[in-house]
Amino acid sequence: MYDKLKQYAKENKMFLTDAERALWAILKSKSLGYKFRQQHIIGDYIADFVSLHYHLIIEVDGKYHFKGDQPINDQLRTNDLNRMGFQVLRVTNEEVLHAPFQVINKIKQAIMNIESRSRPSKKAGIAKLEGQINPENNAVSSVSPPFGGAGGGFLGDRLRFSEVERNAWAVDAACSGNPGPMEYQAIDLQTGARVFHFGPMHGTNNIGEFLAIVHALALLDKQGDRKKVVYSDSYNAILWVHNKKCKTKLARTPQTEALYQIVERAENWLRTHEIQTRIIKWETKKWGEVPADFGRK
């Protein structure tokens, strides 16, 4: 599926509509101040334009988007992208071609809204001083046993965790050199306990991040847990999992053969199982190091 999407994305870049070409000219110019990519693969979709930093997708809709079942299909697509952590901003061909400044303002406003949501509120600051975070919003609200490594102190700053779901596992990998000895682990956000650990084995950090997510998904599937979520700070690994393919450039050698066999088993599990667990990007800039971090930076 990924290879087909990659080919479609390549073709789309060659045959942009007039509106897409006009908007791309705006987005890639330095005057806007934000970095966007065009025809970018996200999960099973190709986004017209996306800012990976802000997780903002911009879709340019022609007239066919308002006919038949297409509005329903667009909404289903948007719902899927929302579940992956992306916000979708839709603009029409007419807006781009005849009111470009209005489109620019919409984009800037969307980014400002995203930035404002990431800033701690004054009320939250007061709650931090009082040592109280509302426990009813499914967020981390009390100090659990320390997590080890750089992740150990994250619960000390409870203000940052008002957005983080409590019923969750966090995964992370560490690699001494790249490639080098690699290991990964998962930490339960409710208890602070280590759920699993693997390694070390010769590999790369990205492979470790990928395997950690799949390991968590497979274990939760085996336990029949449909409510817990998985946090990872690796965008690449999350994308690989959604694409069901570990897109590593690590050479397959006698030294890495055992790891490749594990990767192939992980890919096969993804192809043969429906993923019902939400995978959420851990926002390091907002929340600090992911709790499963090994503390070796």
Domain boundaries of the chain, sorted by first residue: 2-118, 138-287
Closest CA to 208 of 231, 189, 184, 227: 184
**Which residue is it, tokens 């992980």?**
266
User: Residue 175 has what pLDDT?
Assistant: 87
User: Residue 271 has what pLDDT?
Assistant: 93
Closest CA to 279 of 224, 233, 247, 221: 233
| Segment among 20-24, 67-71, 166-170 with least mean pLDDT | 67-71
Query: Domain 2-118 in CATH: superfamily?
Result: VSR Endonuclease (3.40.960.10)
User: Residue 288 has what pLDDT?
Assistant: 83
Query: Domain 138-287 in CATH: superfamily?
Result: Ribonuclease H-like superfamily/Ribonuclease H (3.30.420.10)
CA-only gyration radius of the chain, Å = 21
23/129: higher pLDDT = 23
Global pTM reads: 0.49
**Residue 223: pLDDT over 50:** yes
Give the percent of the chain with pLDDT over 90. 34
- Give Cα separations from 127 to 31, 162, 279 (angstroms): 39, 10, 28
Strand partners, 219: none
Q: What backbone phi and psi angles, to 5 degrees, belong to 256? A: -105, 0
Q: Are 190 and 179 in contact (CB under 8 A)?
A: no
DSSP the chain: -HHHHHHHHHHHHHT--HHHHHHHHHHTSTTT----EEEEEETTEEEEEEETTTTEEEEEE-GGGGSTTHHHHHHHHHHHHHHTT-EEEEEEHHHHHH-HHHHHHHHHHHHHHHHHHHSPPHHHHHHHHHT---GGGSB--S--S--SGGGGGGGG-GGGGTTSBSSEEEEEEEESSSSEEEEEEEEETTT--EEEEEEEEEE-HHHHHHHHHHHHHHHHHHHT--S-EEEES-HHHHHHHHHT---------TTTHHHHHHHHHHHHHHHHS---S-EEE--HHHH-S-TT--S--
Cis omega (within 30 of 0) for bond into 179: yes
pLDDT tens sequence across 134-166: 333 333 322 233 233 333 333 433 334 557 888
The mean pLDDT value for 96-106 works out to 87
Closest CA to 213 of 192, 191, 193, 198: 198
Q: Please state whether 149 falls in left (phi above 0), alpha (psi between -120 and 50) or beta.
A: left
Q: How far is CA 72 from the centre of its chain?
A: 24
pLDDT tens sequence across 22-51: 999 888 876 677 889 999 988 888 999 999
Q: What backbone phi and psi angles, to 5 degrees, belong to 46? A: -115, 115
Q: Please state whether 223 falls in left (phi above 0), alpha (psi between -120 and 50) or beta.
A: alpha
